[in-house]
């Protein structure tokens, strides 16, 4: 069967793809911010907390990391409103889902980062008379952030790729735009041959920019 490439339809509706890409980036960005907030608080709770807290945090992390993201998307979008009695739109729901998902990764990242802060720095802080809180804010957290920057960059790019799942609940991000063009024109090879590189190039660009940022802040 011969197939003639024709990119007309794709270019005519390119705005769905370009705006979709923007939305994907926004979704990833908001989710990682919320995820970091969740992750940091839980990591701190875990590090300084007792058995019950640790088990609860570990339970949350294990649960999220072992369940497919798709199922979580459905659970939060379709499942929660049915018991809560409210409705939210797809985008809100997806951001919540992805934030919760990111949060689980972030707990691990921050927990490992906190553990990796050299003892010597903490001891130095004690030696100059800083209190526990002061040591946390002035010594441990800043150091930890520098240590975890590479992991954060990778997590962000991962989340960016995960935003493709928003398409299943009709959030108009990049993959949804691609599916729309796909089902309306059957220009399969054309549309995916544009969209796949869009993800690829954006991913690399993000990594590159984040690495530039890292270099300003790295710990040796």
Residues forming contacts to other proteins in the complex (CB under 8 A) are: 1, 3, 62-63, 65-72, 74-75, 78-80, 82-83, 161-162, 164-165, 167-168, 175, 178-179, 182, 188-189, 192, 195-196, 199-200, 203-204
Nearest by Cα to 75 from 94, 56, 103: 94
Q: How far is the CB of 112 from other proteins (least distance, A)?
A: 15
Q: How far is the CB of 78 from other proteins (least distance, A)?
A: 5
Q: How far is the CB of 75 from other proteins (least distance, A)?
A: 4
Axis-axis angle for helices 174-185, 14-48 (nearest 10): 150
Decide whether 142 or 203 has the Cβ nearer to other proteins. Answer: 203
Q: How far is the CB of 81 from other proteins (least distance, A)?
A: 9
Q: How far is the CB of 72 from other proteins (least distance, A)?
A: 8
């Amino acid at each position: 069967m011969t197939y003639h490439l024709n990119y007309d339809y794709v270019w005519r509706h390119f705005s769905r793809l370009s705006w979709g890409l923007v939305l994907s980036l926004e979704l990833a960005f908001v989710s990682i911010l919320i995820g970091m907030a969740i992750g940091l608080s839980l990591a701190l709770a875990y590090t300084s907390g007792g058995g019950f807290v640790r088990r609860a945090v570990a339970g949350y992390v294990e649960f999220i990391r072992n369940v497919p993201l798709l199922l979580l998307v459905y659970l939060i979008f379709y499942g929660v409103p049915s018991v809560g009695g409210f409705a939210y739109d797809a985008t809100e729901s997806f951001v919540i889902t992805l934030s919760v998902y990111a949060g689980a990764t972030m707990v691990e990242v921050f927990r490992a980062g906190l553990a990796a802060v050299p003892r010597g720095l903490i001891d130095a802080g004690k030696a100059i008379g800083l209190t526990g809180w002061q040591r946390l804010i002035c010594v441990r957290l800043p150091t930890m952030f520098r240590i975890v920057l590479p992991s954060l960059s990778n997590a962000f790019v991962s989340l960016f790729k995960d935003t493709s799942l928003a398409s299943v609940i009709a959030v108009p991000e990049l993959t949804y735009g691609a599916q729309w063009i796909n089902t309306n024109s059957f220009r399969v090879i054309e549309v995916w041959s544009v969209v796949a590189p869009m993800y690829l190039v954006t991913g690399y660009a993000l990594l590159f920019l984040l690495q530039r940022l890292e270099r300003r802040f790295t710990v040796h």
